[in-house]
Structures are given as C-alpha cells and as structure tokens.
Chain A
Amino acid sequence: MSEIKVEEKQVNTEHHENKKPREKLFHITKRLDVSLKYKIILRVVSILVALVVCAIVLFIFKPGKFGAFFKESFNSLFGSTNKFFNILYEFAFLLGIAIAILPCFKMKFWNLGGEGQVLMGCLGAALVSKYVGPHVPNFICIILMIICAMIAGGLWAFIPAFFKARFDTNETLFTLMMNYIAMGIVEFTVQLVDPTHGSFAGLTSGVYHTSTNISILISFIVVSVLTVFMYVYLNYTKHGYELSVVGETRNTAKYIGINVKTVIIRTAIICGCLAGIMGYLVVAKQTSINKDIIGGKGFTSVMIAWLGHMNVIEIVIMAFLVAFISRGSNQVSTKLGLSGSFVQISIAVFLLTILAFEFFLNYEVHFNKQLFSKKKKLEEVKE
C-alpha cells in the first residue's frame, strides 16, 4: 500500500511541474479519398526517388560512380536483344507469380507461399517430363505436365487454406513454412531420383527446344494471357466480387450469404494452380530443377503485389520496374566489379523507398500552425 502512495505522490508532483499540456508539432490523419491525379503524381515521384536512392547506395559502395547506375541500367534495357530478353524473362517471371498470388492478397489471405507453390509446380512438371514424357507424344506430355503442375501447386496452397478456413490458423507463418517444406521435398526427390547430377538435368520431353529468346517469348505470352484472365476474374466475375467482400469484412460476407470457408479454399486453390503453371514455364525453360530454382522471386512477387495495391495494371508496372532494377544492377555489379549481392540490395532499397511513400498515400500530415506562430511570438517577445 505504502509503495502505491509514494508512486501517486510522484505522479502528482510530476503533473504539477509540467502544467502546460504538451502540444504536438504535427498530427496525422487518415486520407479518406485520394484523387487519381494525386495518386499518379505520388507514384511517379516515389519511383524517381527510389531510383535516385539506388544510385546513392551505389555511390556509397563505389564513390564517384553516381551516374553509372542509370547509364548501365538503361544499357541493360536497350543495349542488345539478349539483354532485352533477359529483362523480359525476369519481368514475366515476377509478374506471373505476383498475378498468381494476387487473389489471395485481395482476400487478405497472406499467401507468402508463392515460392513453395511454384516450386511444387516445377516438381510436378519435371516428374511427368522425366517419367511419362518418353512414352507419349510431346503435346500430350505438355498437357500432362501443366495439369500435374497445377495439381501440385494447388495442393500446396490448399493445405494452409484448409486450416485457415477450418481453424483460423495463422496463414502468414503457415505458408512461409510450406516454402521450406517444398524445398525439402524437391531436394529429397532430386536426391532420390537423380543423385549424380543433383538436378533433373537434360529433360527432353515437354520442354522448349527452340532458342532461348523464343522460349522467353512464349513464357511472356502465357503470362500476359494469365494477367488478362486475372483482370477479368477479379473485376467482372462473381468469384472476384465474393473474394473482395471476404477480404473487406468477414461478417458482411457471412450476412450476405457468402460461404466464407468455400471462398477462402477456392481462391487459394486458384492461386496455387496459377503458381503451378508458372512452375511449368520455369521447368520448360530451364529443362532442370533444383531447390533454388525460384531464387527468392516468390518473396519479391509478394512485395510487388502489395506495392501494386492489388491492382493488375499497377502490378504490371511494378513488376517491370523491379525486373529493370534487377537486371540493371546486375549489369552495374559486373561492370564495376561489385559482388552479385548488389542486385538484392538495390531491389530491397527500391521497394523500401516505394513502401515509405505509401505513407503519404494513406495519411496526411497536418503541422500545428498555431504552435509555430506561438513560438515566433515568444521569440519576438524575448527579443
């Protein structure tokens, strides 16, 4: 008891000492409606600032090379046909995964498992190509590969979605762990089937045998079709409407008669199937599989989908920019003799800068003008 009294006394004395209530320098309010013009201007500014920040980071590690970042990046885009196709492949890859996981995000289902779902798709496709491929015509093999990849990817998305719908299990952590389980399964299978190479190197059936550039072009076309499909699916179908309602508020969805559990599971399976198709495309181009074949692009795509505000058009732009930064900084690092890790740094810095600018999109800062004027008055009095 006595201790509490002492505390109270202290509190009282403190209170008397600062009689004046503290006034804050600024306060923050939420922006309720944002005009399209403001949005576009902010986006353009944030992208430009992000590019400059990337160049500054390069400047820190290689003093005197501020302009090199821009020069080499644009060189990587327009330098030669091969370089352009490299960017195109990276773009298609990132966009495809981002589009695949998009419905989940729209439903506020944090699917961080894009990496694992694509990887399982790769595994499904590669297994079919290895075991069924030699015995059937090529086009049947391709169809079988795609179906198998979709099943594998869909299954990998279904598992967390089922537990989310049934027991409300935390899907962020669940899907994250599923990525690594998928890696384990791939490594295990590869070791079991093909211990000498450590990858199914030299798959022949159901994969592109044309030149690399044509195979990239095919991937790009498939991804474009998927993108258009997703745009229509989200904006003009009943499913798309249902999943956005579930994302906004669960209870509203329940009251208007949407079966929330079904929607969650269905959407996740669609995500997984699309990721599986991406897996097929990867295997078809690389003609092999190993556990690092996705190389963290699943996570990058999560950031792209979020920073694209779950809007297909914005996602396309974001994916292109990230592909541009990625290939550009790759070129920079090889030209200037930096390590390849610079690519990861510049992608992260670019995304972080854009993320920081999100604040100005959602919130408005009001400076306390009275306080400023009061301070001025006080200063005047003192003088």
Chain B
Amino acid sequence: MFALLLCEAFLLTPIFLFGSTGETLTEKSGHLNLGTPGTICVGGAGGMIGVAVYDSICGGFANSNPFLTFMFVLFFALLFGALSGLLFSFFTVSLRCNQNVMGLAYTTFGIGFYGLIATLVNRPDGFLNQYCGTISRLFMTRSEAPNGFCEIFLSHGLLFYLSFVIAIVVAVVLKRTRVGLFVRTVGENAGSADAAGIDVSKYRYITTIIGCSISALAGLYYFVEINNGLVEFKNIDAYGWLAVALVIFTLWKTDLGILGAILFAFLFKLPEIYGLPSASLNILFQYLPYFVTVVILVIISMVNKKAVQAPANLGIPYFREER
C-alpha cells in the first residue's frame, strides 16, 4: 500500500517541481509571474501541437520513431514556454505593466488556449494517446517485481528525472555562480544592480524566458505521463496554483523544492490511495497544501529574517528614471 502511494506520489511530483522551479527562477529576478498556471497549460498545448506536427511529417503512427516524437514534443513545449516568457517580460519589463494583472490575464489565456488546441488537434482515432504511450515507455526500465524499488524509482519517463536535474541545476546556479548572484541582485534591488552595471532588463528577460520554459515542461509532463495523451484536463490550473504556492512553501529555494514537491504530491495522493473514512475528509485533505502555504507565509512574515523573505523587489517594475 505504502509503496503504491510512493509510486503514485512520485508520478505527480514533476508537475509541481517543474512549475515551482520555473516560478522560483522568475521570482528571484523580481518577477511575480502569476501566469504560471497559464504557462503550464500552454506547455501542454505545445506538446499536443508537437505530436500533431510530427504525425503530419512522418505520415501516420506506423512510421513514427519514439525518440523523434519525444524531441518534437519537447521542442514545441519549450518553444511555447519561451514565447510565454517573452510575452510576459515584454509586457512587464519593456512596457512596465502591472505584473499581477498581466499574470492573471495570461493564466486566463493559457487555460483557454489548452482547451481550444485540444479540440482542434484531437482526432477520434486517439493518435495522441498512441504517441504519448511510446514516449513515456521510451526510457522506462520496467521492473519484474511489482511494488519494488524499481517500480518506485526507475519506472518513469525521462521527463521525470529531468525535473530533478533541472531543480538541482537551478539551485546551484542561483546559489553558487556569478550569474546567479546577479539574478538575485536584480530581484532584491534593481536600482543597485543597475548602478553596479548589471543590465536589469536583460537579466529579467532571460530569467523569465528560461523560467517559463521550465514551467511549460510541467504541462508537457501532465499531458504525456499523467493524462497519457488524453486531452481532457480537470485540474491542470489547480496544479499550477499549487506550484506557485510551493515556491513560497520552499522559501524560494529550488533544492528544497524537490522535497516540497514530493510532500505536496504525497498530500494530494494520500486520500486517494488510502481512502479516508469519509468522502468529505478526502476533499479537505486535498486542499491542505494551500492551507500549509498560508501558514508558512504568515510564519516567514513573523520571523522577519531576510534569508527567508521573498525577493525585496518582487512585483515592482524597474524604471531607471524613477529614483
């Protein structure tokens, strides 16, 4: 039972992890991107388009190559994510629009875009499902013994491992490198960063584009690994808001984000697997992550220590002549 829970929770983890890693990177540069749920949806839509484009190129499922499919899908998800980031930073950096409004509008857009692309791309023969099946089996090491070590840790697709690698890489880059220091400076005090000769706009553009590309992979993962190519989605935007919550929960650290993502996935799956005594308690349990995030938010504001706070310039557009 517990092994099954672990397995299911691990399967869900990368959604939160991709989403929160991308969002953390963006927030570290001073951008509160509330468009993350939208970006995740757009990433999923990118995955669908990738499958459809590859299908039309290779001419049917029979001639397809799983590896090439994967590359196409990955490319389109990253492309759409990067375009989301470009749009977001164009609005908030170049046009200096309000980030919250931009983010909410983009989330609305993304959810709509996913739904529209889903109806346009989908065909009754279920080709999306076939392709996604081959992708998720591509790098999988199937274990012989059920519920064993292999089942839990080694039976996932490449995207699963990629999420952990990206989270660690982002954490190291932010903490240990010169570029990471610059990014953090831009997020903490854009004025000082500018005075020190750091190009604030450039850093914000690049981090947002990379961050959104990472977030978009969450949508791709959802589409390929969890939905297995079915276009119906129930709560992809709820996952997105949980990813935003996770950023706060992990105090803007992506290496902690790995543990946080596993915990959130655990809480999400716990009632489903074990089955609490009543259906209403099940529901309450699923909303626990939001509540925990609120508690964390209150605690970090009470502690009032700089190390655990949000970046000081979070949500403030930078205009040099405004000082």
Contact = CB atoms under 8 A, between A and B. Distances in A.
B115 A352 contact: no
Contacts of B112: 341-345, 347-348
Contact of A302 (B104, B291, B294): B104
Contacts of A177: 245, 290-291, 293-294, 297
A172 interface: yes
Contacts of B34: 112, 176
B118 A172 contact: no
A13 B301 CA distance: 48
Looking at A192, A195, A307, the one whose CB has the most chain B CB atoms below 10 A away is A192
A338 B297 contact: no
A38 B290 CA distance: 44
A307 B105 CA distance: 11
Nearest to A351: B105
Interface stretch (A141-149, A180-188, A231-239): A180-188
Given A172-B315, A180-B287, A299-B108, A341 B115 contact: yes
A184 B321 contact: no
Nearest to B97: A355
B109 A348 contact: yes
Interface in A327-372: 338-345, 347-349, 351-352, 355-356, 358-359, 362-363
Contacts of A202: none
A167 B302 contact: yes
Interface residues of A, number: 54
B247 to A, nearest CB: 9
Interface stretch (B9-17, B220-228, B278-286): B278-286
Interface in A82-102: none
Contact of B95 (A191, A303, A359): A359
Contact of A112 (B91, B97, B104): B104
B159 interface: no
A172 B32 contact: yes
B119 A355 contact: no
A300 B108 contact: yes
B294 A174 contact: yes
A355 B118 contact: no
Given A112-B100, A344-B111, A355-B102, A170 B310 contact: yes
B101 interface: yes
A172 B100 contact: yes
Interface string B279-323: 110011011001101100110011010000010000100010110
B97 A191 contact: no
Contacts of B294: 174, 177-178, 181
Interface residues of B, number: 51
B1 interface: no
A352 B113 contact: no
A221 interface: no
Contacts of A356: 91, 95, 97
A306 B98 CA distance: 9
Given A300-B108, A347-B108, A348-B108, A169 B298 contact: yes
B116 interface: yes
B107 interface: yes
A303 B104 contact: yes
B238 interface: yes
Nearest to A193: B280
Contact of A307 (B95, B101, B286): B101
B268 interface: no
A79 interface: no
Contact of A352 (B106, B116, B120, B278): B106
Given A180-B287, A356-B97, A191 B280 contact: yes
A135 B13 CA distance: 50
Interface string B101-137: 1101111110111111011100000000000000000
Contacts of A195: 279-280
B5 to A, nearest CB: 21
A345 B116 contact: yes
A169 B297 contact: yes
B80 to A, nearest CB: 14
A340 B115 contact: yes
A201 B98 CA distance: 40
B319 A30 contact: yes
A163 B298 contact: yes
5 contacts: A191-B279, A339-B116, A342-B112, A348-B106, A355-B101
Interface of B: 32, 34, 91, 95-98, 100-102, 104-109, 111-116, 118-120, 238, 241, 244-245, 248, 278-280, 283-284, 286-287, 290-291, 293-294, 297-298, 301-302, 304, 310, 315, 319, 321-322
Given A169-B301, A189-B280, 4 more contacts: A170-B297, A188-B283, A306-B100, A341-B114
